[in-house]
Structure 1
């Protein structure tokens, strides 16, 4: 998302409390964009123009009366709001008028009491049906929740069915009644499963449609340096423009391709685009960075839906370049256009009869059913070349460059509905919005495999020019993000294409049992080892001698590929004498197609997707056994496919709704406590109060400074008790003597107090804390540590480990990225290597894992709902045979801004 301050006048710096964080660029139902921002006093003229342009019917439905113009007093009241109790948002678009923008929609609320506000909408007649009202409701609801409003009410005329539908279609439970010719509506605006699903569906449809406009373009405009005459000062731009023109002409003769030359560095003349025939669906720009904003503004009247920006010189060049990038986004989004780039390699849509080659790829791959997304232009070159050499086939390819706007999330939204794509591959240099990535990828992975390669195993590389928030999350957080999303994560481009060619040309394996066909027992042993290392279970091997007869070969291959005890097969034939054996390849292809099982091969002379290993099944569908350079590559790809198939077949669970969790009450507490603080560590009483709102009880503890106070506390609790030091280094370390358990009487307690104080003499207690704590004994069990941190990039990151050295020294900690389902929580609890201690390890009784899952679920929903909870630690949580007891908790709050809203475009 670009900052709205770059366009339509900018935010008023004198406006008190102007919420700049509410500014956003948004994709509408038709795939175009609009800018949503808080209203400002200087919007008075634009608001009056908006009102005057409305039809008499629209004005009547909004104000219950016909007003030709808004009275000046009313106009000033409408544009002057406090952004707390009176909030108004406008949706705007750029135009050529004196203001440079126009208002196309207005939404506002006026607070009635602490929880309730009256809401009203008005959308320009010319823009109704584009989803402007739905977008404004999403944004206004988010703003209202941030200000503590929990319910909207409205009064509408019965004939205003469109506005009533906006409220109902948003997924809220709308209560209504009619009286005196007016319909009164009321609905809670706290997110529900249904309202969140509606928002995600709207986002999905809008972003998919915007990408459909790019990849389905029938008219393309190429803008580069002045084409005739002497070479410009920067010949690279000229070379790019000429290459794209040539590739477009060669790709599809039915495309309408037009070209305009602009002065290098000076931008376009006023009449530069006068001869261009509109509409131009797609524009490809190869111009200097300083000229790009002016060019984007100049092409806006041509009906361009998206801009592919090949040029560099933007955010990667520091503040000046970032300003140019923001200017490009402001011009594009204000005109309803998406931006692919900068530093893009271009876009490809490969068809059987023609190819949209708006890219720098001289020889694109042939048509296929794989969609590829790659950020780096430089890495797009070898990636596309490898696809072509393998014969893999491509449906679409998009290079987003620095992804200032369009990202892999947009393409995944498109591919979820694209009937021409079976497999998706993503090469990500950075992930700008991990929470949205997880949400979108999870939805896509349930219907199509998604293979992901990140730059660097940590997934936290930030190339120059990429707008990515810093993260303090552990590198393993990205592993969990990918696992939860169901994507197949690989380590290099070689593996990405290895897996993609298998998933595109073979059925998913029904399980991980694999049969081996090999030309030698020594080869079979090596293949079995590779298969086991890839998580496969070898159930048998057929050894086919090189001198075997045709009948023996056929019977051996058929036996292995039709084995009812096997889900897949690996066929390896490497002759020691002679070359490739086409007859053997044809036999394998035929038997594989007949068997319906997943088959991979390693054969001399064959690589990738080949006609030699292609055959049709009984229904006439063609299947190709993918060929690999080594048996290890084949086994690795098959292992990935088996894990993905298992993920896809499993129950992914239901959203978490722990009974008794009152997130509204938690939010009220947090907002009240942070009213006068930017950050705050909660004391034990407030910690217990906050956790209590979501149903987590903390076993009370009593502070003491000496033996007398400890004894008094123990007598009030009742023996036996636990004694703890508050020194951080020893606080939870029973093994070091910082915790004494099952203290039975006064004498034992006094002795333990002396021992603990002596042990902790060299360690200071936590600031403001007394040196000792006395607490009732919890039931015996295993101790766990549950944490949640609010990361600037990932949002809430949940972790679970069993207490002790396994977690502290060996890193035996499992991670989860909320929102989680109940199945995700169950996986999280079972993920640590020490988790068997919870399930009856070495004859011990099994513990109450369900109670631990309940605690984890409550922490997850609290962290997901309240980004102000900067960190939360429950240490320890003792899981007994019955129940789980939280013995200690710590919570830090801080003002937060979570950049993961579904309704926003990419931030830059």
Structure 2
């Protein structure tokens, strides 16, 4: 047994605990926790409940009898009856021992804790090789908060890892809540009524339906947890000060001057005054009589833990920690940061920060400016998330300068708890937000990021700038897993998720101005109306580089063109069905008629479904002359944005056009493959790891066997060590074979011929053997070249399909054409499984060498569906088998009909760091 003395806060830190607060928490009480050998800490999870509060889920331990007995005493007699089908007022010592002592494989119990109290338990017990009985008990006061569904998700995930594929349960007919837990989980549930009991049985393999149910629940709960932070009725600034130039003074002043209509409180342990700058003041948050939903913390780092306990006592829902001195300063700060998050979550509070700039919500009735920036942008439809506090100040200044209206803004600082994933969940259902901007310095959970972003981008434009792509640099204070993948993976992830990726802050706002005010383009055909030849040429050059097409001829007017000339040209292009978007360039002549041109431009564009953007007097915002005012005095939809140069205007239009094409994509689905034997593959992997507990590369026979579970056939290759062996093997195959050197150091060498094709008889083989052993310099030791004999495949184009289990991204599938040149140029496409039909098609088409597959210079097109079929099967394999850490179909010859896999490499190893995004909800 492993024994550790710890406070509740320390345990929360060690196991990333997160629980809601006891009614009146004092300082955490010392207790002893015993974790048995084999305790599966990976099953621990912080979770968000249906009401947005956090809780902690973990396996039960032998040290939990008192916790269990106290929990059971609070459960009603009816709930006990539903669990045991008979009156059961108390647990016997034997019951307690049995329920708390499990093996974590055939018998597993997961509990949910609130502070130092247990509020729910779920368990399974294996009843057969693939089946287990499952049962739950939830404290009555916490029923209806979604604990049953969360426990079911996590039990099912753990059960699948131990070879269990089916759950069974017995439920009394009037226990409708538990029946609902099973029927609404997204599984196909079979029910039978027998002896007064409903027998429920269902497969627990994740399905599109069950995963969709999980995602919907996750979105609702995480969105609500953020809403609790952004819509407070009462705010306390802890560390408030009347001294000018201090952080506490700036926060208090900005909240007050921003027009926050709720209750505002100042907290300062050293103050004896009743107010600070006109705001009621208190020595601690505990002394405040009114409700406090949000605490903005600006005290020294070593004081934050005490503040959190006080906030929990007060019932605070969340914290914005502006204080620095955490992970950004090194190991000591990282420990302090882990303690901060663990302690806050243990009391049910979420944290923005530390080292954060703060949050803004411009919604009527909220008017919250809990930041260090005095700039309060006007109300608008754009939401913004960033991670850098310092950068956040300049971002807000740029937004104000451009007149870009804001709905909400969050600067997460070190991103210790609340992340961009959480905010995207909130903005998905936030009716006040139509456009989302992300300035990302790190990705804590790339798989979840991709999944959540894709869902959001299907509803609203999401514009993202990721810094550090080339260097994989991560700011101090950000804890992330270091990826092995090239920087191109980020770009592919953005494309797959439908994000509008940009490279600079300026480009971020350029695209935002367009999509916030204008409709999305319906195609790539662009009309230009301009009174400057030079600027027209700039626009045309940029269009050519961005893949946009000129609709007809550019309408280049002379420098003295009148408003009437613009009016005639504009009416023509807006009426033309061959025009998808309109770019207007206006530079003022000596006698400026800008106001008149603006009037005709606004009139011509009014009501049009074609986006129109301008370079109007070199303005970088929506000019007043082109503004359509909304009810808040800001720029409404239909306003025409202006850009300082045609390059910026066309660049923004190209990004919006690509996003519009992503939104219009044909129905994209994840194909089903009934011939895949997932269970057989999982059993094979388990058997392999029993033989190779530390992992190993698979030999040819094992590779063939594993791939066969996914119906991927490999053309057999037979090792040979001499010319006689090569002749004999070729004869067995009926000749029409190849001789190939497979040693890694000689594969794909441009100066060596590693394959000898078209071997028809013994003489051909002996000639091939003699020539290749001489070329490779291995005549005296042919084994160094690792020669194989293989049947000839139909002629075609060689491609490579690979999959890698990355510590940060999880499984990633790669595609490219085979060859040294494409390797050196990095001509590869990347996607994260599961792949949809459109994902696979885009993977094939987006590599630069793709024309070779579609009939280049008169050659026959190859079988593209065969490539896509292999991509889907590899995607399924690497998604379902986490222990397949590397898979390479190193040579796939794609012919006009069919594709032949010629060479493979696979490695299986224990996964020391489990994937961060699973079919069970958890905070990461």
TM-score normalised by structure 2 residue count: 0.92
Is 1:806 equivalent to 2:825 in the alignment?
no
1:898: Cα distance to partner?
A: 1.2
Is 1:262 equivalent to 2:269 in the alignment?
yes
Q: Deviations over 1:358-412 (max 9, x none)?
A: 1112121110110011111000000000000111110100111111111111111
Alignment partner, residue 23 of structure 1: 44
Alignment partner, residue 97 of structure 1: none
| Comparing 538-547 and 325-334, the one that deviates more | 538-547
Is 1:851 equivalent to 2:851 in the alignment?
no
1:303: Cα distance to partner?
A: 2.4
Alignment partner, residue 559 of structure 1: 572
> Which runs of 5 or more structure 1 residues have no equivalent in the other structure?
95-100, 265-269
The question of whether the paired residues in 2 share the 8 Å contact of 1:580 and 1:604 is answered with no
2:442 to 424, 427, 430: 430
What's the secondary structure of 1:262's corresponding residue?
coil
Alignment partner, residue 307 of structure 2: 295
Alignment partner, residue 717 of structure 2: 701
Is 1:81 equivalent to 2:102 in the alignment?
yes
1:772: Cα distance to partner?
A: 2.2
Q: CA RMSD in A?
A: 2.5
| Comparing 711-720 and 2-11, the one that deviates more | 2-11
Matches within 5 A, 1:389-538: 389-458=401-470, 460-538=472-550
1:279: Cα distance to partner?
A: 3.2
Alignment partner, residue 677 of structure 1: 693
1:130: Cα distance to partner?
A: 0.9
1:904: Cα distance to partner?
A: 5.1
1:735: Cα distance to partner?
A: 7.0
- 1:293/1:905 Cα in 2 relative to 1: closer, same or farther (>3 Å)? farther
Alignment partner, residue 891 of structure 1: 906
1:732: Cα distance to partner?
A: 5.2
2:621 to 608, 612, 635: 608
The question of whether the paired residues in 2 share the 8 Å contact of 1:404 and 1:906 is answered with no
Structure 1 CA distance, aligned partners of 2:800 and 2:220?
Answer: 41
Structure 2 CA distance, aligned partners of 1:253 and 1:133?
Answer: 38
Matches within 5 A, 1:607-646: 607-615=620-628, 623-646=638-661
Q: Deviations over 1:714-745 (max 9, x none)?
A: 22222111212232122456972222122111
| Comparing 314-323 and 101-110, the one that deviates more | 314-323
- 1:849/1:708 Cα in 2 relative to 1: closer, same or farther (>3 Å)? same
Alignment partner, residue 582 of structure 1: 595
1:622: Cα distance to partner?
A: 5.2
Matches within 5 A, 1:13-92: 15-92=36-113
1:774: Cα distance to partner?
A: 1.4
The question of whether the paired residues in 1 share the 8 Å contact of 2:262 and 2:366 is answered with no
Structure 1 segments of 4+ aligned residues over 6 angstroms from their partners: 5-11, 763-766
Is 1:871 equivalent to 2:886 in the alignment?
yes
- 1:366/1:700 Cα in 2 relative to 1: closer, same or farther (>3 Å)? same
Structure 1 CA distance, aligned partners of 2:501 and 2:672?
Answer: 30
Question: How many equivalent pairs are there?
Answer: 885
1:311: Cα distance to partner?
A: 0.9
Alignment partner, residue 114 of structure 2: 93
1:117: Cα distance to partner?
A: 1.1
1:615: Cα distance to partner?
A: 4.2
- 1:353/1:167 Cα in 2 relative to 1: closer, same or farther (>3 Å)? closer
Structure 2 CA distance, aligned partners of 1:366 and 1:254?
Answer: 17
1:713: Cα distance to partner?
A: 1.9
Is 1:245 equivalent to 2:252 in the alignment?
yes
What's the secondary structure of 1:34's corresponding residue?
strand
1:903: Cα distance to partner?
A: 4.4
Is 1:716 equivalent to 2:728 in the alignment?
no
| Comparing 331-340 and 188-197, the one that deviates more | 331-340
Structure 2 CA distance, aligned partners of 1:549 and 1:770?
Answer: 77
- 1:106/1:551 Cα in 2 relative to 1: closer, same or farther (>3 Å)? same
The question of whether the paired residues in 1 share the 8 Å contact of 2:354 and 2:412 is answered with yes
- 1:769/1:42 Cα in 2 relative to 1: closer, same or farther (>3 Å)? farther
What's the secondary structure of 2:480's corresponding residue?
coil
| Comparing 552-561 and 436-445, the one that deviates more | 552-561
TM-score normalised by structure 1 residue count: 0.93
Matches within 5 A, 1:322-333: 322-333=334-345
1:548: Cα distance to partner?
A: 3.4
1:902: Cα distance to partner?
A: 5.8
Q: Deviations over 1:189-229 (max 9, x none)?
A: 1111111111111111111111111222121122116x47x
2:389 to 359, 377, 385: 377
Alignment partner, residue 267 of structure 1: none
Structure 2 CA distance, aligned partners of 1:13 and 1:889?
Answer: 47
Structure 1 CA distance, aligned partners of 2:13 and 2:489?
Answer: 27
1:471: Cα distance to partner?
A: 0.7
Structure 2 CA distance, aligned partners of 1:525 and 1:732?
Answer: 45
- 1:329/1:902 Cα in 2 relative to 1: closer, same or farther (>3 Å)? farther
- 1:10/1:682 Cα in 2 relative to 1: closer, same or farther (>3 Å)? farther
Structure 2 CA distance, aligned partners of 1:874 and 1:166?
Answer: 43
The question of whether the paired residues in 1 share the 8 Å contact of 2:260 and 2:367 is answered with no
> Which runs of 5 or more structure 2 residues have no equivalent in the other structure?
1-11, 19-27, 272-281
What's the secondary structure of 2:123's corresponding residue?
strand
Structure 1 CA distance, aligned partners of 2:352 and 2:922?
Answer: 12
1:253: Cα distance to partner?
A: 4.8
- 1:49/1:242 Cα in 2 relative to 1: closer, same or farther (>3 Å)? same
The question of whether the paired residues in 1 share the 8 Å contact of 2:704 and 2:713 is answered with yes
Is 1:4 equivalent to 2:15 in the alignment?
yes
The question of whether the paired residues in 1 share the 8 Å contact of 2:778 and 2:785 is answered with no
Structure 2 CA distance, aligned partners of 1:439 and 1:20?
Answer: 25
